[in-house]
Structure 1
Amino acid sequence: MTHDVQALSDVDIHVYEAVASQAVEHGGASLAGLVRASGLTEEEVRECLAHLIEHGYVLPRGDGYALGPHTFEVEY
């Protein structure tokens, strides 16, 4: 799958960075942790996660989320 980072909104990237940060620290990201880390509402985080999953940037894993294959770096 070819990833097009330009297809992501600034909010999507913000949530992606939160997933990346939690994945590095904890091996995965929980929805509650992403809501806390992003400062967004649960609904906003869920919408971003759906978009990120659709494009392969984030993968559902157990009851949380992990990074999918990625072709760009983020700062977190």
Structure 2
Amino acid sequence: MTHITVDLPETVFSALRKTPDEFAQEMRVAAAIKWYELGQISQSKAAEIAGLSRAEFINALFRYQVSPCQYTEAELARELSDAD
């Protein structure tokens, strides 16, 4: 596993009421969710980055109010028309 060091001011931990380890985990989740939301990574890869199971990642998506479905309206319409 690769380790990345990020320097942050001490005040961020108390402002968010998180320990440094909790903050680091939440950063992983937030980054994975954003990259997933932008369509840059799959749901499976996002869950892996976040250090969560796929079910836990889907729960995190709901917590962040991000849809687990990554279809545009046009893509969904095309999929549904192909199903007929």
TM-score computed with the length of structure 2 as normaliser: 0.40
Greater strand fraction, Structure 1 or Structure 2: 1
TM-score computed with the length of structure 1 as normaliser: 0.43
* Higher RCO (CA-CA < 8 Å; seq separation 6+): 1
Greater helix fraction, Structure 1 or Structure 2: 2
Return the index of the structure with the highest Cα Rg.
2
